[in-house]
A and B are shown apart, each in its own frame.
Chain A
């Protein structure tokens, strides 16, 4: 009986209209290899939950969305459940999300290496690739940026204790 109640409760939570984004940290600062900082800031505008990327020049708001077991927090798709192996998902329309590898550090912390590609875009590679752990969130990422002559990759590393997508109950 307890199992049934638990299953029903779990189903209710998973199917609830409440956003699972609340489970994850959404405020973090990163520094690029060029010394440029970017901040991710949660916000609600016109009743829509979003995360704003503030790169010091312009702001880039993106609404928080959920699809196929992931929550999109700005550029990053954060898994709602721990991935067990490399896989590829078509997510939120066109984006191809690939878990390219899973690594573990000396402390046993597991890192998931994701790459996100827009297949409709003539691109030199993923729009964004990032390394994510449940305990620290996105610890580093690389963005592809368009330029009239050439496209550039810019790399960023986390400078806060908690990155975007850190599971808030884990510590």
Chain B
């Protein structure tokens, strides 16, 4: 999918910190370490939407450590259906997302930045959903074990963004059967997860939710790929074998549907 917003500022509002070099001069963070001549480092801000009081905003406030989030969290991510609707908060920095090896900071445009913002926020939602699920006393032992492993691997996972517009997939995840190297890689094609023209995207036969929640769905799904029992076969001593499961996408979709019930809204 092309990025019609590339190079534009739909809000019409240009913040003081429009270029990375200005951010640096003002002592403000430079999320992607943009080069000084970066032409697309538009940082927009201000109150773009009314606080509709939904729980999403509460969730954002919960994430706040210094109160800044309250100021910038007035937009409801739940209302975001396309990248056109996204306003990246001024001075926003990713909490989780780094650039993949195949992507340089100077290649990113505004659409990338908006998508990175949504992915980063959705990753935070995913962490919270796993945590919330672990508080559920009614879980089966098997599912609880999945969540414990998921939480462990999420904490050490590397989340990366590739500007590659992958025509076949939105993201991919994996973990070593020896327990190391968990990672989730998002492609620029992640914007397709939001659906288009009111029609949801589909992931391995399961409909994703529209808009921002579609992105959360993908992260729930990829988070399932960090759970070794869903990915690998166990041997007689309880260890994991290189033997791979054929139905891994089916079980990770089930995990995705399961986690929807524990989102912080």
| Pair A58/B239 contact, Cβ less than 8 Å | no
Across-interface contacts of B225 in A (CB, < 8 A): 58-59
CB contact under 8 A between A63 and B180, given known A94-B235, A122-B236 = yes
Interface mask (A23-55 → B, CB under 8 Å = 1, otherwise 0):
000000000000000000001011010101010
Interface mask (B133-162 → A, CB under 8 Å = 1, otherwise 0):
000000000000000000000001010000
Q: Does B264 contact A (CB under 8 A)?
A: no
Which residue of chain A has the shortest Cβ distance to B250 in the bound complex? Answer: A148
Q: Does B241 contact A (CB under 8 A)?
A: yes
| Pair A63/B242 contact, Cβ less than 8 Å | no
C-alpha spacing A59/B158, complex, angstroms: 13
Which residue of chain A has the shortest Cβ distance to B249 in the bound complex? Answer: A57
Interface band, chain A: 20 to 34
Across-interface contacts of A52 in B (CB, < 8 A): 174
| A/B pair count, beta carbons within 8 Å | 88
Nearest CB of A to B13, in Å: 39
Q: Does B188 contact A (CB under 8 A)?
A: no
Q: Does B46 contact A (CB under 8 A)?
A: no
| Pair B168/A118 contact, Cβ less than 8 Å | no
| Pair B233/A146 contact, Cβ less than 8 Å | yes
Across-interface contacts of B201 in A (CB, < 8 A): none
Task: State which residues 122-147 of A face B: CB under 8 Å.
Answer: 122-123, 127-128, 143-147
Q: Does B163 contact A (CB under 8 A)?
A: no
| Pair A146/B174 contact, Cβ less than 8 Å | no
Q: Does B107 contact A (CB under 8 A)?
A: no
Q: Does B212 contact A (CB under 8 A)?
A: no
Across-interface contacts of B168 in A (CB, < 8 A): 56
Q: Does B177 contact A (CB under 8 A)?
A: yes
Q: Does B80 contact A (CB under 8 A)?
A: no
Q: Does A62 contact B (CB under 8 A)?
A: yes
Q: Does B9 contact A (CB under 8 A)?
A: no
Nearest CB of A to B90, in Å: 32
